[in-house]
Structure 1
Amino acid sequence: MILYVRFRLEPMYESLLPHLVALLGEFTPVVEAAPPDAALADVRGAARYFGRGPAELAAVIRVRALARYGVDCVIGAGPNPMLARMAARDTVPGTTLVVDDPESFLRDKPVAALDGVGPATARTLCAYGLDSVGRVAAAPLAVLQRIVGARAGRELWERARGTDRTAVVANAASRSVAAERAFDRDELDRDRHRRALLSLAGELGARMRGEEQVCRSLTLTVRYADRSATTRTRTLREPSAHSAALAETAYALHEALGLQRARVRGIGLRAEGLMPAEKAAHQLSLDPGDDKARRIEAVADRARAKFGPGAIVPGSLAA
């Protein structure tokens, strides 16, 4: 059985995640961090060793997280990571949902609830009458492959039947990095929003380049004065750690929100789908300006490494 534990961490306390992952390690060595606020734990061995079921183990984990760090959590349990994540989305803080019967758990859920099914794919499937997971599971594999493609169709068909071939990978490298800027007051000025985005893109880019990684997608989170938030994700044209590319995508995400006099209290960016830079394909550009910008960026990285992160900043942030 797999546990998906999502801790209720405010952005400024995300640094607690390694400690909370270590707490899970007291029960099982097979723990995979899922930044910024969650982790997967394979507790099949722990259940046998401690003689407790997943719900009982989850209760102990919750009590220890509250006692040691003052952090509550929601926990989903299922036979694989996908079902555990979905169970966690269906539960509330202080409770645990255990999926014992995947077929009945999935049958009436909207197709968009499945991992890997975004809005565009969901609309396409709904146009064919495949608006629930149960209907997708009942559809012939060949039909799904004609609609969404051979590989995606098979993955969709398997997931709709409760099959997830991924495994919990102990000590897996972080697949995302994040940064956030909080404003001192409700901020309505869109120019200040853009300055924050530029600063965040530069910070994330520098961190990834320092670790020789690139990201596949970028997620923008805007937090408002009423404590609500809006989150949007966009895939980059190609995996990148180039600050200019990250800033361009961040600006596009921000513009797409169409904020009108919104009282913004904080803006966060998350670079997701990290992978080694050496394994990423980079499309050659005939634009000499792009090549020049990347050379300047490399020089700036060396200067920051020697003199500190504030040694070189964009002119719009220096004002």
Structure 2
Amino acid sequence: MSHRIIFHIDLNSFYASVEAADDPSLKGKPLAIAGNAKKRKGIVVTASYEAKKMGVKPPVPLWEAKKACPDLLVREPRFPRYREMSAKFFEVLRSKTGLVEPVSIDEGYLDMTKYLYGKHPVAVAQSIQQEVLDTLGLPCSIGIGPNKFLAKTASDWKKPLGIKVLRKRDVQRLLWPLPCEEMHGIGARTAEKLKQLSIETIGDIAAYGEDKLKSTFGSSGGRMFEKAWGIDSRPVDPESAEEFKSIGHSRTLPEDAVSLQDMAPVIHLLSNLVAQRLHKKYVYASGLQLTIRYSTWETIQRSIRLPYPLSDHQTIESCAKELLETSWNGDRVRLLGLTGIDLIEKGSAVKQLDLFSYQKDKEEWDRDEHVRQLQERFGPTAVRRGYYK
């Protein structure tokens, strides 16, 4: 798979850009998209670049965002509209190549190797960028590289409305001096472990050695080593996107449930199962969808946007319970289903830790990590999180 030409295209501040495209009076102004915008406890999920320059860094509480930017304009999310615009965005991409792999609602990979038709990659990228802007009113950044990792890294460097080429021969000069957490796929905890091994930069990862990284981090250590050398053999696979659009489970109850207390253990189980599969697939969920089937066989589905892309079972369970409380009509329930939706690759999203709760977040992550390691070693039923009424 040598000499590939891969584009990574990322819509800039997608939700905010859609709102500005629909309402031109918002263009150029500090804008935040926040759930429960009418309540002070709302969470900012996306902010325009004008808002980010004022210190609004999603995900943050709305009150904190307004403190940083008193002139902040706020809109509640319109997910159906965002999905509609996302579909149009990918229609544009699929008109350029037969190999398009959506990564999330607002970004995807294109294999342009056989679709340049003699044109320079940058010229083609410029034409795609301009078409998306002209037809949809949405700005995007495009990274160009010989593989998915380098293309993704390049697009992250030039926002908004940037185009960046990152070649394999540039890796030692441009990537190696960077802190290891700048590598796509390395989160805060992995970076912390690396620093304990005196690995501070991407160059240190490359020098540390593949075998030693594998002994500490398992197969992910091998992937880490390859990325540090600019190696990534993953193909752009349109079908893989279909596999990971959502991750869900459902359970038919042994007896019809007549109270929230009856359904709580099932929600607990489903949350654990969804979280396990999210971890296994190395993705986060940006939203949850709850399925309720009543004893009459009437079935409803309700969805909620998560406060930030995540995969931990505790937050998933908390949000699922909240969704159940607001969706259940009081009738007898025979089946419950829970699905993580709008999936995002790990490394493409972060959670902003709260000054007063970051230690709790870390402890929770540690517990989940121990459970996952035991399950991987002894089987999925060897140990599970307990449920307490």
TM-score exceeds 0.5? yes
Identity of aligned residues (%): 22
Deviations 1:78-101 (A, max 9, x none): 111111111111111222010022
Contact 1:6 1:38 in 2 (8 A): yes
Q: Does 1:84 align with 2:151?
A: yes
Contact 1:234 1:249 in 2 (8 A): no
In structure 2, the CA distance between the partners of 1:16 and 1:235, relative to structure 1 (3 Å rule), is same
Contact 1:6 1:75 in 2 (8 A): yes
Amino acid at match of 1:7: L
C-alpha separation in 2, matches of 1:250 and 1:83: 36
Describe how 1:16-95 pairs up with structure 2 within 5 A: 16-47=85-116, 49=117, 51-95=118-162
Amino acid at match of 2:318: E
C-alpha separation in 2, matches of 1:36 and 1:174: 14
C-alpha separation in 2, matches of 1:28 and 1:73: 18
- What SS class does the counterpart of residue 173 from structure 2 fall into? helix
Contact 2:286 2:342 in 1 (8 A): no
In structure 2, the CA distance between the partners of 1:144 and 1:29, relative to structure 1 (3 Å rule), is same
C-alpha separation in 2, matches of 1:158 and 1:98: 19
Counterpart pick for 1:246 among 316, 329, 340:
316
Q: Which residue in the other structure is 2:226 paired with? A: 158
Alpha-carbon shift at residue 285 of structure 1 (Å):
9.7
Deviations 1:100-119 (A, max 9, x none): 22332311121112233221
Contact 1:175 1:273 in 2 (8 A): no
Alpha-carbon shift at residue 23 of structure 1 (Å):
0.8
Alpha-carbon shift at residue 246 of structure 1 (Å):
3.0
TM-score (norm 1): 0.59
C-alpha separation in 2, matches of 1:282 and 1:36: 31
Amino acid at match of 1:57: V
Amino acid at match of 1:153: G
Alpha-carbon shift at residue 45 of structure 1 (Å):
1.0
C-alpha separation in 2, matches of 1:283 and 1:165: 34
In structure 2, the CA distance between the partners of 1:286 and 1:57, relative to structure 1 (3 Å rule), is closer
Q: Which residue in the other structure is 1:196 paired with? A: none
Alpha-carbon shift at residue 283 of structure 1 (Å):
3.8
C-alpha separation in 2, matches of 1:55 and 1:15: 28
C-alpha separation in 2, matches of 1:97 and 1:69: 22
TM-score (norm 2): 0.49
Contact 2:139 2:160 in 1 (8 A): yes
Q: Which residue in the other structure is 2:164 paired with? A: 97
Amino acid at match of 1:169: D
The number of aligned residues is 221
Contact 1:108 1:134 in 2 (8 A): yes
Amino acid at match of 2:9: V
C-alpha separation in 2, matches of 1:45 and 1:219: 33
Alpha-carbon shift at residue 143 of structure 1 (Å):
2.6
Alpha-carbon shift at residue 145 of structure 1 (Å):
2.7
Alpha-carbon shift at residue 138 of structure 1 (Å):
1.5
C-alpha separation in 2, matches of 1:271 and 1:26: 23
Any stretches of 5+ residues in structure 2 without a counterpart? 16-76, 248-266, 288-305, 322-339, 346-378
- What SS class does the counterpart of residue 4 from structure 1 fall into? strand
Deviations 1:196-245 (A, max 9, x none): xxxxxx9xx8xxx9xxxx64465569xxxxxxx974523449xxxxxxx8
Alpha-carbon shift at residue 131 of structure 1 (Å):
0.9
Q: Which residue in the other structure is 1:5 paired with? A: 9
C-alpha separation in 1, matches of 2:344 and 2:140: 24
Alpha-carbon shift at residue 123 of structure 1 (Å):
0.7
Contact 1:220 1:250 in 2 (8 A): no
Deviations 1:139-167 (A, max 9, x none): 22233233323x23222111111111211
Describe how 1:189-268 pairs up with structure 2 within 5 A: 215-216=278-279, 218-219=284-285, 231=308, 233-236=310-313, 246-248=316-318
Alpha-carbon shift at residue 247 of structure 1 (Å):
2.7
Tell me the C-alpha RMSD between the 2 structures. Answer: 3.8
Q: Which residue in the other structure is 1:116 paired with? A: 185
Contact 2:103 2:344 in 1 (8 A): no
Q: Which residue in the other structure is 2:217 paired with? A: 148
- What SS class does the counterpart of residue 92 from structure 1 fall into? coil
Q: Which residue in the other structure is 1:173 paired with? A: 242
C-alpha separation in 1, matches of 2:130 and 2:235: 26
